[in-house]
Every structure is written in structure tokens, then in C-alpha cells.
């Protein structure tokens, strides 16, 4: 579990909890990954994060950092801060440990990098929905990397048709990224029902889904984090997330939330195909 994920989870779903944020981190196994830095993405995502909660998590981990107590408003003009934010948000990975509610002291396990906030609430731990949400988080990050990479390879101005296709591809990538965000958020909001929902999965389906979870871990561990490979890695992640969606009933229930944007994606694909034909003429 990355600290970026930790920054967005709480125990507010518990009836006796008023705030439940931030959750205290008790880490047993922590590893550090090499991830290619994307400054624009860091500038955008840090605006959505609770910076105080991030500093609190770093103290829980006894992590030495060179971050200020207050984040400057013009953080984009501070390359050293951006570099450190990249390291703590994306490179630190809590593999085993637990999250502790600050109000009740109740703990939630982190196993194989996946936090389980409902282990005591459901007869069946929501393994597949937590894996699905994690997959979608990783997919969104990879889609953003691809978008920034594609922006950097603009065709020559003289190739008007190529520019039109390039712009349409950027538009489609942005739509796909938004669709990923909507689907993930919808499933996240319904996680309180995940354990019960997964209990309806047959034993045969459960075995298949366990295999898919293993594929997710293998896919994440094999990432090279190189810009030129982002399309292949995005395709592979999308395939795994789609398989996990079939294992998480919440994902099926959330299809309505992405219906409108899927129609926009379908229209955009048609327009891109039309541009391909036009450029051949």
C-alpha cells in the first residue's frame, strides 16, 4: 500500500466513529520501489491530498524526510520538494502491517500491500474488491503517465492530419482516465457492502478470482516504470482490472456511474477511426 492510498482512507464508516482520520500506520514490512517521476502529476495529486495526514503517516513509519511543515502554495516551483513528495507518495510501499482507527483503536490488516478495512465486519473478507480498487488506482497512475508522455511527442505542425489524430488520442486517454477514477470512487464508496457482496461468489469463481489476484501482483511487480512502455503496461493493467471487476460485485453495480463517459469514449473512437481513414486518402 502506497502512502498515496493511505491518505484517502479512513474509518468513518464505523458507526461509533466521527472522524476516523488519519489512520495510524503500523508497518511490519516496508519496501522501496523505483518509480519514474512525473512532476505534473505530483503537483496535481498533492492538491487532493491531506498534507498534515501525510506527515503524520511518515512519522508513524519513522521515515526521515526533507519536507516542510507547511506546503508552499507554489510547490511547482520547488523541485526538491516535488522530488521528495514523489519518493514518499509513490516509492514507499507498505507490504505487511495494519491501520489503526485513532478513535476506537480498532485495527485493520494490510496483507500483500492491500488494506482490508472490513475484515471484522463481514463473513468473507472483501479480497477481490480491495484488489480491484488497488488495480484501478495503479491504472489511473499509469494512464496519467501515458498522457504526459503522449503530450511530449507532438507531431510536426506541417502534418495537420497527424496532429488531429494526436489531439483525439489525448482526448481519449483523458476520458479513459476519468472513467477509471469514477469506477474506482464508486466501488470505494460502497466498500462497506463488499464482504457481503463477495460472499455470493461461487467456489469455482472464487478460485478463478484468486488466480486473477496473483496475476495483479505479478503485473505490478514486473512494471518497468519506463515512459516508452506505458502503453503496454496500461493495456496489461486494464486487462487485469477488467478481470477483477468480474470478481467484485460492487464494480458491476457501478457500471451506471460510468455509462455517460463510456458513450463519450465510444464516440471518440469512432471519430479517431474516421481520422485514420481521412489520413489515408
pLDDT at 234 over 50: yes
Long-range interactions of 199-208: CB distance < 8 A, separation 24+ = 199/122, 199/123, 199/124, 200/249, 201/128, 201/247, 201/249, 205/247, 208/247
Beta-carbon neighbour count of residue 84 at 10 Å?
16
pLDDT at 147 over 70: yes
pTM beyond cutoff 0.85: no
Write down the pLDDT at residue 70: 94
Residue 64: HSE in the Cβ half-sphere, 13 Å Cα cutoff: 0
Could you tell me what percent of the chain has a pLDDT over 70? 93
Predicted confidence (pLDDT) per residue in 173-213, tens digit: 999 999 999 999 998 888 877 877 787 788 888 889 999 99
- Give the neighbor-by-neighbor strand order of the sheet with 24-32: 24-32, 92-100, 107-111, 114-115
Predicted confidence (pLDDT) per residue in 96-146, tens digit: 999 998 988 888 899 888 887 764 543 445 678 989 999 999 999 999 988
- The CATH class given to the 3-115 domain equals mainly beta
Amino acid at each position: 500500500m502506497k502512502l498515496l492510498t493511505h491518505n484517502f482512507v479512513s474509518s468513518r464508516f464505523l458507526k461509533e466513529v466521527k472522524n476516523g482520520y488519519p489512520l495510524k500506520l503500523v508497518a511490519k514490512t516496508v519496501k522501496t520501489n523505483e518509480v519514474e517521476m512525473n512532476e505534473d502529476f505530483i503537483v496535481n495529486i498533492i492538491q487532493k491530498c491531506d498534507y498534515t495526514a501525510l506527515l503524520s503517516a511518515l512519522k508513524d513509519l519513522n521515515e526521515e524526510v526533507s519536507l516542510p511543515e507547511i506546503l508552499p502554495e507554489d510547490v511547482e516551483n520547488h523541485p526538491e520538494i516535488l522530488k521528495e513528495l514523489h519518493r514518499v507518495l509513490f516509492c514507499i510501499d507498505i507490504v505487511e502491517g495494519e491501520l489503526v482507527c485513532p478513535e476506537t483503536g480498532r485495527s485493520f490488516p494490510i496483507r500483500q500491500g492491500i488494506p482490508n478495512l472490513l475484515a471484522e465486519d463481514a463473513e468473507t473478507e472483501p479480497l477481490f474488491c480491495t484488489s480491484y480498487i488497488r488495480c484501478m488506482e495503479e491504472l489511473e497512475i499509469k494512464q496519467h503517465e501515458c498522457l504526459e508522455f503522449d503530450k511530449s511527442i507532438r507531431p510536426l505542425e506541417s502534418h495537420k492530419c497527424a496532429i488531429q489524430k494526436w489531439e483525439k488520442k489525448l482526448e481519449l486517454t483523458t476520458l479513459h482516465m476519468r472513467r477509471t477514477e469514477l469506477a474506482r470512487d464508486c466501488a470505494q464508496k460502497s466498500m462497506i457492502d463488499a464482504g457481503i457482496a463477495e460472499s455470493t461468489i461461487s467456489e469455482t469463481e472464487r478460485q478463478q478470482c484468486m488466480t486473477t489476484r496473483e496475476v495483479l501482483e505479478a503485473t505490478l511487480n514486473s512494471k518497468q516504470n519506463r515512459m516508452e512502455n506505458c502503453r503496454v503496461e496500461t493495456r496489461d493493467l486494464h486487462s487485469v482490472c477488467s478481470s477483477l471487476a468480474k470478481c467484485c460485485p460492487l464494480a458491476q453495480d457501478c457500471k451506471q456511474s460510468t455509462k455517460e463517459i463510456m458513450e463519450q469514449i465510444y464516440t471518440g473512437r469512432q471519430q479517431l477511426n474516421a481520422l485514420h481513414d481521412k489520413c489515408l486518402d
